[in-house]
Amino acid sequence: MELSLEQQKMIHIKPSRYSLIRGIQGSGKTTAAIYRSLYLKNNYCLYEEDKILMLASKDEDINYIENIYNRAEEETRLDYLSLFSNSERNFHVVTLESILHRYFIKYKNKHKLKNKIIVDNDKKNSIMKDCILEIKNIYPRLRILHTDYAQFFIEEVKWIKSCNYLKADLYLHVNRRGRKCEKGQGPQRILKNSTARKAIFQLMITYNEKLKSEGLVDNEDINIYALRMAQTTTVGRYSHIIIDKSNNLTKIQVDFINALFNEKSYSNMVFLLDVDRPHNSNSWMMKGKRVNTKPLGEKVKSYSFKKYYKTQEKLQKKCDEITSKNLDINSLENFKYCDIRHNRAYEFMRDYSRRSDIIVNDEKGNYEYINEELLELPVYSDIAAGEPMLINSEMEGKFYIPKYWLKGVKNPFILKVKGDSMIGAHINNGDYVVIRQEQAANNKDIVAVDIGGNATLKRLSINKDRILLMPENEKYQPIVVDSEDTYILGVAIGIIKHEN
């Protein structure tokens, strides 16, 4: 396998405690890390207990990593040989979720717990509302203790646990950034060392007690218990650890991985980060668009992969996937997504029988998005791009697109266009228009508007003396907005065009 210069540099560098490889998706970070593991195996696994762990983000990645490792091992069997080489395979690849669950089960058995995982959000809301009422008795003058804020407090408790702020002083004094909520759904700001923070911490304790009394644990508790178990045992530790797709690692998960680390003078822990992938709000490795290395506690050796890395293995993997799924190339639908907000476009495919799997083709090559990487949008049919007509309130179906295309967009939905009044804006009959649901818009925005129970798609024109809904076709006349029962349904932010 031909490796780039930046990959080779990273593979052969002397181990430092922490290393970070950042780059765009498909830039060869995983491939380089696998070759790195072989180099470490042959040069820095000095004793029998020295082992290498690679943590994948999902089960589907394990076979891919194993295949590359086997090929790389065969290819480099002479290149990386050293005095410390041995024939024993001490490279293990598992998902982070599976190893966390394994340690949670050990903790559960050791302490004879019978807790079940809570997944029902309605149940969480019910428990949280009971907790809010209890804490309200302690802080009767605190306005934020409102049952309407239950979801806000659930997310705040999740953040506290994810960050391992299980002592009151830690939570009271920490900077709390990135937490925003809609008006009426929670407070806009929680000051440091405030009564509000004290109440929220007490709320978390009460919430945990109620979960425990009902024999329940949440996902954050699983991570906490797994960490406690890992910290009390020296069995199963690794001299070298590689974490693939580590964008969404929380603080508690980073602490857990560190607990698995058998630190020696030659040990190495490598984090792989996709700088163009979205990350969740509880991520400890990403802060906004910046990579956060401070929590690792010391200087980190950093590498940046900026170019897309094409390998024959990737092409073969895609062919194998098509074969394994019995896909007929003629059954693939081709689409184009035009991003109005950022003035860019993506070509993508989906199969008739697997519409929730999307293959995107852009300047970085093909990438298949599945499961948690996708956003499910409801599709409503027959919005008029001509004369106003009644929008069909029944869903026509669902459309799946990558989440990062709609980053920051709340309540998006899709309207299928009927008519030709917007052809000047490249919106044609049969196109799917992605709408960001909201009740306000700016001048020149393309908007979906409800006029007396009828809906239409037009460009908004706001003048000093009147408001117009402008068509993009000379065949149609502007619509004057002079009725009180006219409402904006949302703003168009994207167009999906069928390319077949």
Of 4, 458, 461, 483, the active-site residue reads 458
Strand 91-95 and strand 116-117: pairing? unpaired
**Which of 19, 421, 461, 483 is an active site residue?**
421
Position 110: which residue type?
Answer: K
- Measured CA distances, 321 to 70, 86, 317, 359, 399 (Å): 19, 34, 6, 12, 22
CA-nearest of 410, 422, 426 to 471 is 422
**What would the DSSP string read from start to end of 197-248?**
HHHHHHHHHHHHHHHHHTTEE-HHHHHHHHHHHHHT--TT-BSEEEESS-TT
Active site residue 324: no
Q: How far is CA 59 from CA 54, 92, 245, 471, in A?
A: 12, 14, 13, 49
- Residue 248 C-beta-side C-alpha neighbours within 13 Å: 13
Instruction: For 389-415, give one letter per residue: b (16+ CB within 10 A) or e.
Output: eebeeeeeeebbbbbebbeebeebbbb
Give the CA radius of gyration of the chain.
27
What are the CA-CA distances from residue 26 to residues 5, 55, 307, 308, 406 (Å)? 16, 18, 8, 6, 21
Active site residue 461: no
Nearest CA to 172 among 151, 195, 139?
195
Residue found by looking up tokens 């990487």 in the block: 373
Catalytic residues: 421, 458
